[in-house]
Structure 1
Amino acid sequence: MVNLNLKAQGQGSSQLTIEQATLTAGPAQAQLSAELSRQDEQWRWKAEGRLQDFDPSVWWPGAPDSAWRRGPHQLRAALSTSGQASVALLSQPEQLWRSGAAKLALTVEPSVLAGVPLQGQLSLTPVLAPSKACPLWTGCCNSTQAATP
């Protein structure tokens, strides 16, 4: 059984606040809080989310007798994003990241996917000038870290 608990409020088509959204199914839980607002042609957002004990094979069973089907799976992750951009820029994700208008961080906490231990971090952070880390791509610097415990 899947349960959804949602506490949100909006103001016309210009503002939405999700104070808390929680989705549970057995031991798995997904949580989200977010703020989204529009002023003229600019959208501003901030969101944080979390997965706890998520088993993706419930939603995507995979091929019979595959490692995916056998599991086990137990994902734990945290996500945060924020930014401000025009409607036109939002329709062009690559330009959105290059503009420095948004940032994103994903942390995969110690987890198991198809029986394999997994953890890591992904960060997309605005950089307004080229650097040693991002000499050719002004506007965004990506960093990733992955490890198996």
Structure 2
Amino acid sequence: MLRARRFPAVCVLDSALNQRILAENDLPLVLAHLTGRRGAVAARGYLAEADGRAQSPLETRARLRCVDGGVPPDVLQLPVRDEDGYLLGVGDLGWRRARLIAEADGRAPHLTPEAVYADRFRQNRLVNAGWRILRFTWSDTQRPDYIPQTVKHALKRR
């Protein structure tokens, strides 16, 4: 982590937290072990950005692009329910007030026909409940301005 760049470092930290390999309350201990070492200043920032709710490196990268672009999501893994409390779906990144969800669509989990149909069914339920859905891929995260500009545009169009 001391020599890693930001995106890979935060992805690894998010994954370790998500898989419970590392606990949130372990982060200060990790920071204490890094203090005084070369790269510790950058690593401190990576630790501060770590969030175990991210379920994939793609979600982490999309979130970091939003943060860098000035449109950080207010929630990760946003559960959306109907009036009866029925779970319609869970959004990867969410902006509650704007009723906007961004989905980070990795290739493997969305490749099968069954997954495509399930995604469409879920998206239709969310849209019918008044939510707007944006979808991003790995290649989108490689363009620094694309994700935040797309989110900004959607947030303006409330």
Normalising to structure 1: TM-score of the pair?
0.27
Greater relative contact order (Cα 8 A, min sep 6): structure 1 or 2? 2
**More strand per residue:** 1
What's the TM-score once normalised by structure 2's chain length?
0.26
More helix by share: 2
Whose radius of gyration is greater, 1 or 2?
1
